[in-house]
Amino acid sequence: MPGAGRGTVRVVIIGAGEIGSNLARSLSADHDVVIVDIDEHAVSTLGDELDVEIRIGSGADPEVLRSAGLDRTSLFIAVTEADETNMMAVSIASQYLPRDATRIGRIRNRAYLADPALHERFGVDVVINPEGLLADKIRRLLEIPGAHDVLLFEDGRVIVVAFRVRPQGPLAGQTVAKLAEQRNRIGFVIGALLRPPGPGGSRQKVIIPGGNDEIQAGDLAYFVTLRERLDDLCAWVRPDESASRSVLVAGGGETSIRIAEVLSEAGFQTRLMIPKEGQAKEASERLERATVLKGDCAELEDLADMLAEGVDTYVAASKSEAVNVLTAMMARRLGTPRTVTVTQRYDLMR
């Protein structure tokens, strides 16, 4: 359905894949969104689902771009699977966009990422690399025992870390006021509690806790602390856990390879499990510090063999969300202490 013009910002998105589709869903409620892709089925499906305009054609085609109304566009985002298409789309669009428009391009190739001058030549204001961001997030999670979410502020000096509250842990049943001694000794603030939905409920409850609010088992508690106090916080909240050391990553696409690359370079003992021999060979040539093995995580025997060699974390990062969820469950049943599941929206389940 065409946009109704109610938004204050016009956004043109090149690419109707996972990232482009999710961006369209997030932005179309408040802004005028145009989505462009050569895949007629993909853009038509989004056009039926969302209040957006659609254009069928290449994002690097000047005529297609002009038809998207670039002269009144404030935000231009190119997020196809091809770096070259994204850079060319931004470069061509720059000729028609207003001077103050923001131009964002998805770039995955490491050679392109490492050359800021190239971004400038093609007119890319902001470079996004979802695979790299995801890999960095997983690294931060695995460095902190039991963490479910990690956010960094002030160049990493301030950390927001979320822990699931255990029934027998030090938090369950305590009010915020009763934690004053630990709060003063360690140095933290509980900024928020995410409470799972009760019976019959469908949405979790967000609580900004005051002194009399009780922390319940199952809550996701968000702590704000300084980096130098993080070890003390973990020792109190998760005294029986340690940071991950050995990791098995399962996948085969760019996402899994990038995760293995980041983890291995950060010092984790990393193995990457890839189903196809050709892909495994290519990955092994690229990864200097990770061990690449041929195997299919969807096959219980293959997965069990890999996990039997001793890993404390399994990262399910194949292209299939269903496979990721199922194999993470299998890994848990086989005794793996920690699992991370990559979903289609570049989110994580733990």
- Asked if 250 and 270 sit in the same domain, the reply is yes
One-letter identity of residue 10: R
Shared domain for 29 and 48, answered yes or no, is yes
Q: Is residue 1 part of a domain?
A: no
> Taking the model in full, what pTM does it have?
0.78
| Same domain flag for 205 and 279 | no
136 inside domain? no
Residues 121 and 59 occupy one common structural domain:
yes
Lowest mean pLDDT among 35-39, 130-134, 173-177: 130-134
Q: Final residue of a domain: which of 237, 267, 296?
A: 237
Is the residue at 312 inside a domain? yes
User: Average pLDDT of 119-144?
Assistant: 91
Range of the domain at 71: 10-128
**Is residue 212 domain-resident?**
yes
What pLDDT was estimated at residue 252? 83
Which residues have a Cβ under 8 Å from the Cβ of 84 and sit 6 or more positions away?
none
Are both 259 and 232 inside the same structural domain? no
Strand-pair category, 147-153 with 75-78: unpaired
CA dist 135 → 15, 19, 33, 254 (Å): 22, 16, 29, 11
Taking a C-beta distance cutoff of 8 angstroms, is the pair 259, 315 a contact?
Answer: yes
Q: How confident is the model at residue 244 (pLDDT cuts 50, 70, 90)?
A: confident
- The residue among 253, 248, 249, 221 whose CA lies nearest residue 237 is 221
Specify the residue for token string 């038809």.
67
Q: What is the mean pLDDT of residues 339-346?
A: 78
Average pLDDT over residues 181-188: 96
- Check pLDDT > 80 for residue 122: yes
Neighbouring residues of 306: CB distance < 8 A, sequence distance ≥ 6: 248, 250, 271, 273, 293, 295, 297
Tell me if 138 is assigned to some domain: no
Contact 263, 138 (CB under 8 A): yes
**Band of residue 2 on the pLDDT scale cut at 50, 70, 90:** very low
CATH code, domain with 29: 3.40.50.720
Q: Do both 152 and 114 map to the same domain?
A: no
- Give the tens place of pLDDT for each residue, 200-240: 777 889 999 998 999 999 999 999 999 999 999 999 999 98
Q: Provide CB contacts within 8 A for 63, sequence distance 6+.
A: 57
> For the segment 140-171, what is each residue's pLDDT rounded down to a tens digit?
999 999 999 999 999 899 999 999 999 999 99
Both 150 and 118 in one domain: the answer is: no
Q: Is residue 5 part of a domain?
A: no
**Model confidence at 4, in pLDDT bands (50, 70, 90)?**
very low
What pLDDT score does 8 carry?
72
Q: Where among 188, 213, 237 does a domain terminate?
A: 237
Predicted confidence band of residue 344 (pLDDT cuts 50, 70, 90): low
The enclosing domain of 157 has a CATH number of: 3.30.70.1450
Could you give the number of structural domains in the chain? 3
- Of 237, 258, 292, the one marking the end of a domain is 237
Mean pLDDT of the chain: 91
Same domain (yes/no): 150, 233: yes
pLDDT by residue (tens digit) across 48-72? Answer: 999 999 999 999 999 999 999 999 9
Regarding whether 250 and 233 lie in a shared domain, the answer is no
**pLDDT tens digits for range 271-300:** 999 999 898 999 999 999 999 999 999 888
Does residue 71 fall inside a structural domain? yes
100, part of any domain? yes
| Mean pLDDT, residues 252-281 taken together | 93
SS3 sequence of the chain:
CCCCCCCCCEEEEECCCHHHHHHHHHHCCCCEEEEEECCHHHHHHHHHHCCCEEEECCCCCHHHHHHCCHHHCCEEEECCCCHHHHHHHHHHHCCCCCCCCEEEEECCCHHHHCCHHHHHHHCCCEEECHHHHHHHHHHHHHHCCCEEEEEEECCCCEEEEEEECCCCCCCCCCECHHHHHHHHHHHEEEEEEEECCCCCCCCCEEECCCCCCECCCCCEEEEEEEHHHHHHHHHHHCCCCCCCCEEEEECCCHHHHHHHHHHHHCCCEEEEEECCHHHHHHHHHHCCCCEEEECCCCCHHHHHHHHHCCCCEEEECCCCHHHHHHHHHHHHHCCCCEEEEECCCCCEEC
Neighbours of 228 (CB within 10 A): 10
Question: Which range (11-15, 85-89, 298-302) has the least confidence?
Answer: 298-302
In terms of domains, do 37 and 114 share one?
yes
Selection from 329, 155, 275, 325 nearest residue 342 by Cα: 325
The verdict on 79 and 184 lying in the same domain is: no
Same domain for 37 and 110 = yes
